[in-house]
Amino acid sequence: MRHDYFTVADDHAISRQAAERLQMAAFIGIYQMDPVNDPAKLKAEATYNAAADHFDDGPLAFWERYGRRTVERLLLTPGSSVLDVGCGSGASAIPAAIHVGPQGRVTGIDLAERLLIIARSKSLAQNLHNVEFQRADMTASGYRDASFDAVVSVFSLFFVADMVAEVRELWRMLRPGGKLAITTWGPRMFEPGSEAFWSAVKECRPDLVATVSPWERITRPDRLRQLLSDSGISGAEVTAEEGQQRLQSVEDWWTIVLGSGYRWTVEQMSDGERARVKAANLKTLRENATTSVETNVIYAMAQKI
């Protein structure tokens, strides 16, 4: 599949924007994307394409919140070029585009085309002509060495089996003086909602219970710092931040389920199974008077010398 790098914001901007994008394409090296065959990548793609219908709903405001905070930590300068891998619906790419200004350039890549459609719509609504959203594999993006002033990964790195290799890949694409920003989940992600969800799934479909989640490999600052060190990066700033997502009602939790990685599990159930799991999950939260879920995160930033 060809990268759709020449999509323009509106008919009136075609000549100017097309010329700018052609120059950028020649610089960073646009490539023909190979078909995705890896089962884990196909699962992630299917999960988040399905989750797109709730991904930007109010109870999932944490996507935008942590994407924006990640970008704020970068202190991007006007005119910078930024790559956002696993960009989703633009939670970090769109703030980055605002920060770098019209002379800058932001490229967001993701495997989930339905999320990219949302991102494009949001950027157009904000009249941003300096951001592109492309379907691409973050492990084989095809960009040249030293192509970007900043590379961002928010809640995406842990989906890659070989995280060391991926961090090295992201680092390779940074120019000297450029910054790498990685944001990942901290401990107790979405608790107590998550535990209640998996307990309900276990009662109905024990075969679907996940014993290990990919993000659990780096839910502590020391583990994320060690990952960067193993990748050849020293002097990284790693900061943990506690957070919560308020629930107006327990129904908000089910919206989070449908708009996040839990969606894959839900999609494997029949309608009857899904209804039983939802009822049991929300019953537990009501009984415990749950009004929020934890959204603890870890930020890491490193500058290439």
pLDDT in tens, the chain (305 residues): 333 322 333 333 333 344 344 344 443 344 455 667 788 899 999 999 999 999 999 999 999 999 999 999 999 999 999 999 999 999 999 999 999 999 999 999 999 999 999 999 999 999 999 999 999 999 999 999 999 999 999 999 999 999 999 999 999 999 999 999 999 999 999 999 999 999 999 999 999 998 778 889 999 999 999 999 999 999 999 999 999 999 999 999 999 999 999 999 999 999 999 999 999 999 999 999 999 999 999 999 999 99
- What confidence score (pLDDT) does residue 35 get? 66
Strands 292-294 and 244-246, by their bridges, are: antiparallel
CATH T-level fold of 37-190+212-246+293-303: Rossmann fold (3.40.50)
pLDDT at 27: 38
> What are the b/e assignments for 236-275, b being 16+ CB within 10 Å?
bebeeeebebebeebebbbbbbbbbbbbbbbeebeeeebe
Residues 6+ apart with CB under 8 A from 31: 3, 142
State pTM to two decimals. Answer: 0.88
What sections of 101-192 are H helices per DSSP?
Answer: 113-125, 163-172
| DSSP annotation of 108 | E
Are 154 and 67 a contacting pair, CB within 8 Å? Answer: yes
CA dist 73 and 304 (Å) reads 16
Q: Which of helix, strand or coil describes residue 56?
A: coil
Q: CA–CA separation, 115 vs 123, rounded Å?
A: 12
Alpha carbon distance 192, 205 (integer Å): 20
| Alpha carbon distances (Å) from 241 to 78, 260, 283, 293 | 27, 20, 30, 14
CB 167 within 8 A of CB 231: yes
3-state SS record for 151-164: EEEECCHHHCCCHH
